Structure 1
């Protein structure tokens, strides 16, 4: 007779193990039906034929044509319609001017002034080590000849973060004080957080055109959710005793907010600012696709030319900028608990800061006076590692290039192409029913309706083949990510030494913008779907490993001790006790892994992955707004489908 350890459910039909087995059997059954239907009906009822057979009188509902008409109207009326004359055009000019002004301020300070102020600010806020990191970042910007691009990126990040905080923090404060506001904002934030970054680009392109304003708004909107959520949580979690004491003394709601809630919530709000900055850094690099310029454009142009060396230089600059911003803002949010304060008496610290500020102002005065070497980073101080990197890449290609090409071809022939063919050539209604059946198995009727509707809408948008291609890539990459992440997470949970080794590596990986992951995989595999999938797997692994590790380590010590005392082997302890107890954390790991895979697979269109991401990129490049918008909406549909299915599984 099996022993039920404290805190665990018996492995019966109604327990977690039984539910997992039942869902697996249901999923295999759905796959068998899909394969049978494909074999029996192949070529008879493909979705494009049914869609094309709609009567001509319904042609006006074609989504791509609607968006193309909307784009034509915008182009024709941008300078005459009150909506643009007194709305979006003013906003566009204001945002563009803000980016230009910040960039001009950085240019006015000249490179010595920017370096001095940046390093001194980092030294004051985060200590000597972070100051050295900031100095190294500035050195890389200049020595690689990317100083101007880095300043453009920094100006865009600053503008976007200011917009995100000006919008997000007040909404977060309102949500923290009002349950009604919190309920209203929650679904909106949930929806925004499941949207891949590419889905934000086309609407902004329609409203603001190509350039910095569209990039700034897209980045700000993408970065708003953490500002709202973390601010609301900080305000809501303020010590109730302090609030009651202040209220009993007759404080007004405004005094309560400004004198108690916000000061006590300051540390958590600053952590929200840190997360907002990191998301903005990630998005502003992607926004180079709509004319943002900066370091992201340098990577994009280099990848288009398969110039791995130049892409590597720009990638290193992006990584150092992201890490520097993360360390400085994280130290500011730690309240001094985790930062290394500058040595010496306070008066000496003030003297150093004052002297550095005066030197920076002197550099600005010299720039205004026309001192030549202050006009920009001197060419004599630039070096390039692109040649060495390209030579190293050639050596790697000579060594493993044949193997990598063979692996990529085998993966395409054996896995990716058959799965894509199964999804694209099966009758559309059969795929919709399969999605609904899987949704029902995972979360019931509501999830079934969401799953079926999301897949159906992908077809109604006219991008069925692109959507199924993207879904096939996500399925393969997600299976690899979850499998590898679970194995690594379990091993880390069982070995403190391995966990200590992985921790800084995972920290660094989660700081990197997703764009950067494309560089090494293109160097290894070239252009195509396989490098995009490899980048997606690597990008999504860190949260999966962390959540699995944390979930197993967080299991009840009493349950583990009881299982060991009963003579359980390590395998039995893992499968009968730890994994069932860590179920919620494991399912969250699956959810996060799949959503990050989707985001990266879409970005993989920049290196030849095709599918929906290609529809967005091609639509922007060729002014085909209809294709870009329908592809973007289909990405949102797939995100909604995958998110709801995995979250429903976690709740049941």
Structure 2
């Protein structure tokens, strides 16, 4: 009779091993804790010495000169925008072209009238995804109309169409090139990685500097923000085409162009359409944020409502954005799966298309003859007053409790942590960041982490950056704790997973701007609602990654552990979580990056710090402060990304 296999003893040299004092010091979390202890000790030592200059915040001289230089550049651009050849023959042409494209699309939507636009949307949804999604699209247009936001919705749609067209025009060809050229793929991948860790707010100011305030800047910044998935997923689709199909086609004498158009693109079509879906969803997300730089539309309606703390108006506009995002996701997702066109017999497709086109033309013609345009505002249903009444009732009922919670969080968690980071010796904070990068991700991450924090200091916004970092750390701890807990519960209970998955899908569809509305309704204005919105915004991907990671643990491994008498808790802590380490690290990484992006946007509801500097820079033409803060946000994102990526497995 064979003896049951025993679990391998932990490697004394690996993190998590136990044994003597030397092995304890090699434990990752012990090392990280020692770094934190040193940082806290340095803070108290500096405080005891009265915060001397050598043990205080980052010197601001370099940052002040940098901001002054940026202000001078901006002033030069303002003076020479209509004189410099660079603007006359390049940026101004792009600006006029993009502005004209958005205006033309908007005018075309107006020309179609509200019945025509609605009919076209419903027909396209029906052909792509069936009657259920068509009904969803009909409800979406109904929300646009009855909320009194029809014109704003059409403006948002025009911006989305223009920006997605730009993103796909450049993204798909570059993705094809990356899929066919390994050298180009290796060169473009770090650029895409960098673009995807940049918070949305950081994109705004550079394009304002080049294109000014208005639709052109909003369209181009939205296109650039939505660009990475178009390239990345197209490249992935091309690279996943079976080599056997390529070799068979090449053996028949096909040219590279024929291989691309007859084999690679047809076989990669569904995956490429998934990239189109992701591009559209990112565009919807960014075009709302771009309201800060004059994009108008639904985002501007939310922005104006939140600035007046009018939860009712913000709710109306937020509902319209939510419906738009969900409808576009369902329609474009269905197109990626093949749609319903293929179910129609070949000999009936052309007559069906002709009949539908004739119906659209007839409806638009009749509407134009009757003088119909956008939905009349006097037929709108204003629900802002009931929502505001509900908001007042909520504040009267739980307002004191949420205010007390917010005060406690500010005084006992956020305040002390921000004070620690801002008033510790700056060089000690940099060394601590580099040390954490080395502990969790290796020497290269240590260099990048330290350099990123030094970059923050050289930009002259050290204190605001440390304030932002403190908010990110607090929100990230809450997000990861809740995400791991809920993810573990999902992996244990299929019924709970079936209930939560559609909810998480819907949450991941929503633009981040929308999460600020319920947070303000509960906590009014300040840092705490920004943190609450950040936690809720970042939770869905964390939960799903934890659930997927645990469910991906091989069943034979679990059976072997159970056969040795392991309890459910031991299975989780000794088998499932260690084997799901890759998914857990990705969950932590994605959670923290998403928290950072949302905390920065939280400046619109009083979160302050770097996000507020960006808003002030935009509102008061302080482009030096705004651009420096935007670059600091990028540096913080790079620091947090590198620290949480984990060590790459060594190559055999």
* TM-score grouping bracket, smaller chain normalisation: over 0.9
Contact 1:212/1:292 (<8 A) preserved: yes
Q: Match for residue 11 of structure 1?
A: 10
Q: Distance in 2 between matches of 1:132 and 1:381?
A: 21
Matched, 1:362 2:365: no
Contact 1:226/1:276 (<8 A) preserved: yes
Contact 1:113/1:359 (<8 A) preserved: no
Report how far residue 44 of structure 1 moved. 1.4
Matched, 1:45 2:53: yes
Report how far residue 46 of structure 1 moved. 6.8
Report how far residue 13 of structure 1 moved. 2.9
Q: Match for residue 594 of structure 2?
A: 596
Of residues 482, 485, 488 in structure 2, which corresponds to 1:487?
485
TM-score by length of 1: 0.94
Of residues 459, 462, 465 in structure 2, which corresponds to 1:461?
459
Structure 1's 594 and 251: CA in aligned 2 closer, same or farther, altered over 3 A?
A: same
Report how far residue 447 of structure 1 moved. 1.5
Of residues 498, 506, 513 in structure 1, which corresponds to 2:496?
498
Q: Distance in 2 between matches of 1:609 and 1:393?
A: 21
For residues 522-556 of structure 1, what are the alpha-carbon distances to aligned partners after superposition, in whole Å with 9 as ceiling and x for unaligned?
A: 00000000000000000000011001001000001
Report how far residue 343 of structure 1 moved. 9.0
Q: Distance in 1 between matches of 2:8 and 2:204?
A: 46
Report how far residue 449 of structure 1 moved. 1.3
Of residues 246, 249, 256 in structure 1, which corresponds to 2:249?
246
Contact 2:585/2:646 (<8 A) preserved: no
Structure 1's 600 and 606: CA in aligned 2 closer, same or farther, altered over 3 A?
A: same
For residues 20-73 of structure 1, what are the alpha-carbon distances to aligned partners after superposition, in whole Å with 9 as ceiling and x for unaligned?
A: 981211111111111111111122137777625x5xxx79x8211111011001
Residue 574 of structure 1 aligns to a residue whose secondary structure is helix
Q: Distance in 2 between matches of 1:44 and 1:610?
A: 27
Q: Distance in 1 between matches of 2:435 and 2:257?
A: 52
Q: Match for residue 478 of structure 1?
A: 476
Residue 221 of structure 1 aligns to a residue whose secondary structure is helix
Contact 1:617/1:628 (<8 A) preserved: yes
Of residues 180, 187, 195 in structure 2, which corresponds to 1:192?
195
Matched ranges for 1:149-160 at <5 A? 149-160=152-163
Structure 1's 50 and 119: CA in aligned 2 closer, same or farther, altered over 3 A?
A: closer
Of residues 626, 629, 635 in structure 1, which corresponds to 2:624?
626
Q: Match for residue 20 of structure 2?
A: none
Q: Match for residue 29 of structure 2?
A: 24
Q: Match for residue 270 of structure 1?
A: 273
Residue 647 of structure 1 aligns to a residue whose secondary structure is coil
Q: Distance in 1 between matches of 2:358 and 2:122?
A: 14
Q: Match for residue 64 of structure 1?
A: 67
Q: Match for residue 131 of structure 1?
A: 134
Q: Distance in 2 between matches of 1:192 and 1:633?
A: 13
Matched, 1:286 2:289: yes
Of residues 406, 421, 424 in structure 2, which corresponds to 1:423?
421
Contact 1:587/1:650 (<8 A) preserved: no
Residue 375 of structure 2 aligns to a residue whose secondary structure is coil
Contact 2:58/2:457 (<8 A) preserved: no
Structure 2: segments with no counterpart, 5+ residues:
18-22
Report how far residue 357 of structure 1 moved. 3.1
Is the deviation greater in 230-239 or in 37-46? 37-46
Residue 62 of structure 1 aligns to a residue whose secondary structure is helix
Structure 1's 63 and 234: CA in aligned 2 closer, same or farther, altered over 3 A?
A: same
Structure 1's 353 and 314: CA in aligned 2 closer, same or farther, altered over 3 A?
A: farther
Is the deviation greater in 8-17 or in 95-104? 8-17
Matched, 1:112 2:115: yes
Q: Match for residue 100 of structure 1?
A: 103
Contact 2:56/2:423 (<8 A) preserved: no
Matched ranges for 1:241-640 at <5 A? 241-336=244-339, 354-366=354-366, 368-369=368-369, 371-372=370-371, 374-640=372-638
For residues 125-161 of structure 1, what are the alpha-carbon distances to aligned partners after superposition, in whole Å with 9 as ceiling and x for unaligned?
A: 1100000000000000000000000000000000000
For residues 420-471 of structure 1, what are the alpha-carbon distances to aligned partners after superposition, in whole Å with 9 as ceiling and x for unaligned?
A: 0010111111111111111121122221111111111111100001100000
Contact 2:113/2:368 (<8 A) preserved: no
Contact 1:554/1:582 (<8 A) preserved: yes
Contact 1:541/1:593 (<8 A) preserved: yes
Structure 1's 391 and 353: CA in aligned 2 closer, same or farther, altered over 3 A?
A: farther
Residue 448 of structure 1 aligns to a residue whose secondary structure is helix
Contact 2:476/2:591 (<8 A) preserved: yes
Report how far residue 378 of structure 1 moved. 2.2
Structure 1's 365 and 283: CA in aligned 2 closer, same or farther, altered over 3 A?
A: same
Q: Match for residue 228 of structure 2?
A: 225
Q: Distance in 2 between matches of 1:5 and 1:313?
A: 62
Report how far residue 239 of structure 1 moved. 1.5
Contact 1:278/1:326 (<8 A) preserved: yes
Report how far residue 360 of structure 1 moved. 2.9
Residue 335 of structure 1 aligns to a residue whose secondary structure is coil
Contact 2:471/2:599 (<8 A) preserved: yes
Q: Match for residue 180 of structure 2?
A: 177
Report how far residue 353 of structure 1 moved. 5.2
Contact 2:437/2:446 (<8 A) preserved: yes
How many residues were matched structurally?
639
Structure 1's 50 and 174: CA in aligned 2 closer, same or farther, altered over 3 A?
A: closer
Is the deviation greater in 525-534 or in 375-384? 375-384
